[in-house]
Structure 1
């Protein structure tokens, strides 16, 4: 499995099509920090999540 995977499989809670909130980005970073060998940590997703949240795309769960 490569460092950059295009796999779409996995969680039923994927949130596809939703914007990244700062709270969600924080959860991603925390998960990667707790398990440095995980796919989340190794893929660089935490930094991309933080960047997406910083771009102002994050909204609260109700989408307003």
Structure 2
């Protein structure tokens, strides 16, 4: 298994684009896209670990 990576806004954009294309331009409330967006926003708010 590969390591999990934090959700990024660029990944959310790809997911949202694919969902909107398959649903007539709409994304449903509570969909994977909205959960991914919340995760990406939370990850962006966290300070990055120092190396």
Q: Bigger radius of gyration, 1 or 2?
A: 2
Question: For residue 61 of structure 1, what is the aligned residue in structure 2?
Answer: none
Residue in structure 1 matching 2:36, options 49, 55, 59: 49
Which has the larger helix fraction? 2
How well do the aligned residues superpose, as a CA RMSD in angstroms?
2.9
| TM-score, with length taken from structure 2 | 0.62
- For residues 6-63 of structure 1, the C-alpha deviation after alignment (integer angstroms, 9 at most, x for no partner) is xxxxxxxxx76111000001110110000018xxx66710001100100025xxxxxx
| TM-score, with length taken from structure 1 | 0.51
- Unpaired runs of 5+ residues, structure 1, are 1-14, 58-63
The list of structure 1 runs, each at least 4 consecutive aligned residues, that deviate by more than 2 angstroms after superposition, is: none
2-structure distance, mates of 1:29, 1:44: 10
- Unpaired runs of 5+ residues, structure 2, are 45-50
